[in-house]
Structure 1
Amino acid sequence: MAAAVHRKEERDYGGDSAPCAFNVDNQTLTIETLTGTNFKRWKEDIEIQLGLMDLDIALHENEPPKPTARSSIEEKARYEKWGRANRLSLMIMKRSISHTLIGAISKTENAKKFFDDIAEKYKSSEKEDAGELIDKLTGMKYDGVGGVREYIMKMVDITTRLTELEIPITESFLVHHALNSLPSQFDQLKTSYNTQKDKWNTNELISICDQEEKRILRGSGGNVNFVSQPNMRGHSSSHNYRRNNKGGNKIKN
């Protein structure tokens, strides 16, 4: 069945940078226009939207053999499905790219080749993104803003993004780095971790650090400067963290 594809451009919201709305078989797709600095978001939009429309076969599979008189009904149907997905995917991608960029992309009638060519042109951009993420991760220091739980979750998010860029960060490294980036008020917790045999995973780390921060805040009346507060090694209370008997979260002694 033929499919009508219409693009609605929101020129009042920034011209080429505005999202593109497409009507395909009476269903609406919204894709952020590729402008040169937003490839990752554009790529995600394309993959999600074409997947929802069952058109992403054209992005992940090569063109099947053209049917012949001896081809089966299934082979003919498969080729027809791929051909439709290829045409619509190519049309949608071309119309969701800024007019200033479309000329730099290879001319092809194959959606997969078109998509891969765009990705190839942004590989250097991904390397720059990876460098920025590594610098951000290694330079992070907790200052008390937003809470330690949110702080460590931001670290986890960065490591996840680095893994997507084929730069995996081990969970063990992340736990050590997160602890080392905490201010002196957490020194008791750091010492406890470094002297025990058990290793924590990130979920345990988040839970334990959150408990420790609440303890620190209670002991100080809720007013702690996590940047300039003096070292708390001499604090009267001491907590050791270990696994409970069921192997779950750590508990304090």
Structure 2
Amino acid sequence: MAIPSSYLSSIPILTGDNYQKWVEDLKLHLGLLDLDLALREPKPSPLTNNNTTEEKTKFEKWDNANRKCILVVKKAVPETIRGNVEVKDTVVEFLNAIKVKFELNTNAESSDLMSKLMNPHYDGGNVREYVLGLATIAAKLGDLDIKISDDPVVHIALHTLPGPYKVLQSTYTALRDKWSLDELISICTQEERKLKQNKVESANATFHRGSSGGPIRRDKKFTKKGRFNPYGKTRGTQQSKAS
């Protein structure tokens, strides 16, 4: 089967800082092309005169997939990098050789992600997106062989949310059962909705109190009639005191 040029053009070119995404996209496309057999199964034993027809067919299928995989990988690696990596006999060995060249970048990426997870900053935006962002960082660390369970991510999220969400911290601390990330996102979303509703109701209540008899200033209501008499004294009273 020929490899469609559209598949090749959609695979990102390997650079110094996109190795992890490059590997993920590459494997995805090889799977869509039905070439990932060479990634999933080891190289079969060399053929001999004693092999059965089934074994020969299996070897030829694997060898064809492996050869095309190597071509795709070479296409997705720029010449400046490819010149420093020895092309191996199998695509798995070839990818491992490329990985070695980027191990330092992987370590730097791991450190950067860990720093972002341990020192997050909530900017007051959508709380669901904030928690999902932390979950995404944890997932990326998992891809780099640093497994992060839900518990520390939930703990970090709860203790970096601002004051209005402190009640969730107390509730979580008091519970014996831990929340999953999905549960935390659902609970935080409900709490965010409730806080917004309370804010709207409070603003409406303040507006109605102020508009019932004119604007409120220094706890005194300024009506149209007494606009120039802020302390509630009548003109007659002022005149009698003056006399």
State the TM bucket, normalised to the shorter chain: 0.7 to 0.9
- In the alignment, the residues of structure 1 paired with residue 187 and residue 25 of structure 2 have an alpha-carbon distance, to the nearest angstrom, of 37
Q: Say whether 1:191 aligns with 2:157.
A: no
Segment of structure 1 superposing worse, 101-110 or 66-75: 101-110
CA drift at 1:218: 2.1
Q: Say whether 1:165 aligns with 2:144.
A: yes
2:129 aligned partner: 150
Amino acid of the residue matched to residue 36 of structure 2?
D
2:32 aligned partner: 52
Task: Percent identity, please.
Answer: 35
139, 153, 165: which one aligns with 1:174: 153
* Paired residues of 1:217 and 1:223 also in contact (CA < 8 A): no
- In the alignment, the residues of structure 1 paired with residue 76 and residue 162 of structure 2 have an alpha-carbon distance, to the nearest angstrom, of 47
C-alpha offsets along residues 208-245 of structure 1, whole Å, 9 cap, x if unaligned? 11121222222222899xxxxxxxxxxxxxxxxxxxxx
1:113 aligned partner: 93
1:69 aligned partner: 49
Segment of structure 1 superposing worse, 164-173 or 128-137: 164-173
1:36 aligned partner: 16
1:85 aligned partner: 65
Structure 2 CA distance for partners of 1:180 and 1:80, relative to 1, 3 Å: same
- In the alignment, the residues of structure 2 paired with residue 208 and residue 133 of structure 1 have an alpha-carbon distance, to the nearest angstrom, of 25
CA drift at 1:66: 1.8
- In the alignment, the residues of structure 2 paired with residue 119 and residue 62 of structure 1 have an alpha-carbon distance, to the nearest angstrom, of 19
2:215 aligned partner: none
Amino acid of the residue matched to residue 160 of structure 1?
A
- In the alignment, the residues of structure 1 paired with residue 185 and residue 133 of structure 2 have an alpha-carbon distance, to the nearest angstrom, of 11
Structure 2 CA distance for partners of 1:150 and 1:65, relative to 1, 3 Å: same
2:223 aligned partner: none
Q: Say whether 1:131 aligns with 2:111.
A: yes
Gaps of at least 5 residues in structure 1 are 6-21, 225-253
CA drift at 1:159: 1.0
Q: Secondary structure at 2:66's aligned position in 1?
A: helix
- In the alignment, the residues of structure 1 paired with residue 7 and residue 167 of structure 2 have an alpha-carbon distance, to the nearest angstrom, of 56
Amino acid of the residue matched to residue 169 of structure 1?
I
- In the alignment, the residues of structure 2 paired with residue 113 and residue 217 of structure 1 have an alpha-carbon distance, to the nearest angstrom, of 55
* TM-score normalised to structure 1 length: 0.73
- Indicate the structure (1 or 2) with the bigger Cα radius of gyration: 2
- In the alignment, the residues of structure 1 paired with residue 144 and residue 2 of structure 2 have an alpha-carbon distance, to the nearest angstrom, of 36
* Paired residues of 1:60 and 1:112 also in contact (CA < 8 A): no
Q: Write out aligned runs for 1:220-231 (5 A).
A: 220-221=199-200
C-alpha offsets along residues 88-112 of structure 1, whole Å, 9 cap, x if unaligned? 1111211221111110001333322
2:75 aligned partner: 95
Considering fraction of residues, name the structure with more helix: 2
Instruction: Show structure 1 runs of 4+ deviating over 4 A.
Output: none
* Paired residues of 1:50 and 1:56 also in contact (CA < 8 A): yes
Structure 2 CA distance for partners of 1:191 and 1:108, relative to 1, 3 Å: closer
1:209 aligned partner: 188
Considering fraction of residues, name the structure with more strand: 1
Count of matched residue pairs: 202
Gaps of at least 5 residues in structure 2 are 204-243
C-alpha offsets along residues 124-179 of structure 1, whole Å, 9 cap, x if unaligned? 2221111111111111132221x111111111111111122121222122211111
Q: Secondary structure at 1:34's aligned position in 2?
A: coil
